[in-house]
Each structure stands twice: as C-alpha cells, then as structure tokens.
Amino acid sequence: MNTEDPNSPPAPPEQKPTGELDDQGSISPVGDSPVAPLAGTPTRTHAALLFILICGTLLAADLWTKSAAFEFLDVSIFTTPSGFPAVTRSPIHVLFPGCALEAALNLGAFNGWFAWAPWLLIGVSLLALPLCFFWATFRSSNYLFVIALALISSGAAGNLYDRWVIGGVRDFIRWSVKWGNTEYVWPNFNLADSHIVIGVAIVMVLEWRKPEISEATHP
C-alpha cells in the first residue's frame, strides 16, 4: 500500500559525482576550492596537448628574445683561435635600476659550471626532455605538474639548441644590486633559465602542499 503523501515535496534528485573522466575510467573531481581546477587530474590527451602548447610557445619566445637581444646590442658570435665560440664586447643597456641587457655566451651551465664537458650537458638535456614528456603525459597527478614540467622542458630545449648549434648558451639579462660603492652582479641569464627555475619552484611547492591539493581534489 502506498502511504506517500501526495502533497509532500518531491525528493531532491540524486547527486552524481562531477568531473572529467580520465583514461582509466575514474572521475577527476572539480571542487569549489581555487586549487581544484588546476590540481585536478588531467587525461593523457589533455596533459600531452597542454605540455606541447606551453613548451612550444615558451621555446619560441626564448629563441626569439635571444636573437633579438643580441641584434639590439649589436654583438656577434665568433670562433676563437682555440676553437671555442665567443661573443664580441657587449654594451650594457640599462632597462631600469638593477636590470640591464648585456650579451654573454655561457659555455657551461649556471655560472659556467661544466664548461669543460659540453657534451655532458647536451646528453643530460636529451635525456631529460623525453622523460619530462612521459612523466607529464602518463604520470602527472594534476595540471600544475604538467605546467611545471613544460616550463622545465622549454628551458632545457632552448639552451640545448644553443649548445648544439652555437656551442654555448646566449645570455642577455643582467641583474645587479648596488651596495655602497660596490655593485654585485648576478651571472647573466636568459628566459630559458627563468623557465627552468619557475618550473622547479612549482614542483617544490606541489610537493610541499601535496596533502592540501589531495584534499581539494579528493574531498
């Protein structure tokens, strides 16, 4: 016998989980947390496309700014009698206090490290690029991690191009701090270096905030 009151309000519809269906058939929830949209688990296709888009765009920006800065500063690259590439004397063009443009050619990594082993640096980059793509596509747990790996890869690819084609990395950004009568100058760098630093910083923050991100995406 049906004892349901005909005048009672209808029951609310059953709430279904929302989110994107990943390649494994599970749903990646998208909550109200501001962290959730970027922290949600991407599909392999989305991760690969996002990685390629970011990496390709930043790589193009890095190579263009290097060429544009060297042309603006009117410097050229030549080969020394010992067979190493070098750059002609560069002027310093001040953009604002503490930041200027100055062309330099780095034969090593940060501050000239491993300048004696350029093929080691090339080998590390050639190994890192496919690993980053694989990790972003098949092992990434959230979109931010894909972005971080794309940043790192774009920087590695930009400097790899310089080492392979030119024999050294083109740097043009000059940071300095003046204290009294002494000026402390940071080693010149480029956009590729900045991309790598930002990408590594994002990875470190994600590792540090992993419990919070996990709670936001899987309440």
99 beta partners: 96, 175
Closest CA to 189 of 105, 126, 127: 105
DSSP state of 142: S
Side chain identity at 118, as an amino acid letter? P
Among 28-32, 88-92, 97-101, whose mean pLDDT is lowest? 28-32
Strand 169-179 versus strand 27-28 pairing type = unpaired
Contacts 24+ apart (CB under 8 A), 206-213: 206/142, 206/144, 206/145, 206/148, 212/35, 213/35, 213/39, 213/142
pLDDT of residue 24: 46
Cβ partners under 8 Å of residue 103, min gap 6: 69, 70, 73, 75, 87, 90, 170, 171, 172
Catalytic (active site) residue 171: yes
The structure's pTM equals: 0.76
pLDDT at 114 exceeding the cut of 70: no
CA distance 128 to 137: 14
pLDDT, position 35 = 46
Give 4-16 pLDDT, tens digit per residue: 555 655 555 555 5
CB atoms within 10 A of CB 127: 11
- What DSSP element (H or E) covers 177? strand 169-179
List pLDDT tens digits, range 25-70: 444 444 444 444 555 688 889 999 999 999 999 999 999 999 999 9
Point out the least confidently predicted range of 72-81, 101-110, 141-150.
101-110
Lowest model confidence (mean pLDDT) among 4-8, 48-52, 127-131, 159-163? 4-8
Higher pLDDT, 209 or 83: 83
Is 193 an active-site residue? Answer: yes
Domain ranges of the chain: 51-118+126-217
For residue 34, what pLDDT is reported? 46
Side-chain half-sphere CA neighbours of 187 within 13 A: 13
Give the CB-side neighbour count of residue 131, counting CA atoms within 13 A. Answer: 8
- Residue 210: how many CB atoms within 10 A of its CB? 13
Closest CA to 142 of 18, 41, 24: 41
pLDDT attached to residue 32: 45
Three-class SS of 94-138 = EEECCEEEEEEEECCCHHHCCCCCHHHHHHHHHHHHHHHHHHHHH
Residue 145 has pLDDT above 70, yes or no: yes
Find the catalytic residue in 5, 23, 74, 193: 193
175: pLDDT strictly greater than 90: yes
Is 71 exposed, middle or buried (CB count within 10 Å of its CB: 0-12, 13-18, 19+)? Answer: exposed
Q: Which residue has the higher pLDDT, 18 or 69?
A: 69
Average pLDDT over residues 20-29: 47
